[in-house]
Amino acid sequence: MKMCLGGIDHIYDLPNPVIFTHGDTDGLSAAAIAVRAFSRKKIEVEVVITQPFSLHNDLMKYDESCNMIIMDLAISNKTKEVLLPGTIIIDHHPSTGEYLKELELTGMFVVFDIKKSASQLVFNVFGGGKIDKYISRLGAAGDWIITNQELGKQSTLLASSMSLVPDDDQMRYYILGNLVAGNNVWQMKEAAKRSKLAFKKLDRIREEYTRLFEDDMFLIRFYQDGFGFASILANKLHKEFGKVSFAVCPLDDKTTDLLVTARAPDENTLDLRRIFKKFYDWGGYGGGHAKAASGVLPEAKFFEFCKYLSSITKKKKKKSKR
């Protein structure tokens, strides 16, 4: 499913452009391509690195004097309520696709394609040369949209470097700045250094987690130090055991909310989006893709969440016996 801007020349005419982008490899790659395009037009642009669960708060810090461009961030009900008319959205998350008609009717410009990464979509919109194409493919590899061994290594290095200190956005801006400058991943010495430290930390975390649920699915919970590594570990576990894998850890030290990240093997028929939609019923929120999703869940609802996973497993077993 696609919706594209009839023409994007007006993007360069917008005063005070502000890009809101996801703080992962695909989101940073998407922003880098756009910043490079604006720079070619000698236009300054601000970049705000955020997460889907905090996007609505970040949007509210800006007023109508700014023109907002949202990249690689799934639109939720909370976000939808604070969007300003004329906002440009470039995304590939299924949850954004559910609001396409509504977004268009309320004056948004949307570029959407579930089969492409955000960085590929931004490259299609803004264009560019060989460096920009490399950046778009790097972002696509980071989101497993394309399979390429070399780009896979580079995207893994970036993801792990950001996971060492997950709330350190300066590291993300360091990566963004390097991409904008046209540097490849192997030139990012600080990222390589942090990546090595991150994998050492990951080995320690793997020894300390508590395994709470294991059947057709695999669930592990961290009580500290897990944030930033949850997605990496969920990805490792689903590949290692061939099961749907969930990693759960504290969202931050300010609330009791939990961050839940999940990955599913390609051959698994379970749609993770269906599970994370339930988070809204429990006072949380979440979304993503059929095989990769995440969300925020109140601590008090954690065991209800586990029971729900158990019920899904039991239903699958009953069907297989028939």
Would you state the pLDDT for residue 3? 47
Domains and CATH numbers, the chain: 2-194 (3.90.1640.30), 209-321 (3.10.310.40)
Which residue intervals of the chain are DSSP H helices?
Answer: 25-40, 55-59, 77-82, 94-97, 100-105, 118-126, 130-142, 149-163, 169-180, 189-208, 230-241, 272-277, 302-321
Please state the pTM of the whole predicted model.
0.79
Q: Is the pLDDT of residue 4 over 70?
A: no
- The whole-number average pLDDT for the span 264-283 is 85
Measuring CA to CA, which residue among 253, 256, 248, 265 is closest to residue 305? Answer: 248
Band (214; pLDDT cuts 50, 70, 90): low
Q: Is the pLDDT of residue 7 over 70?
A: no
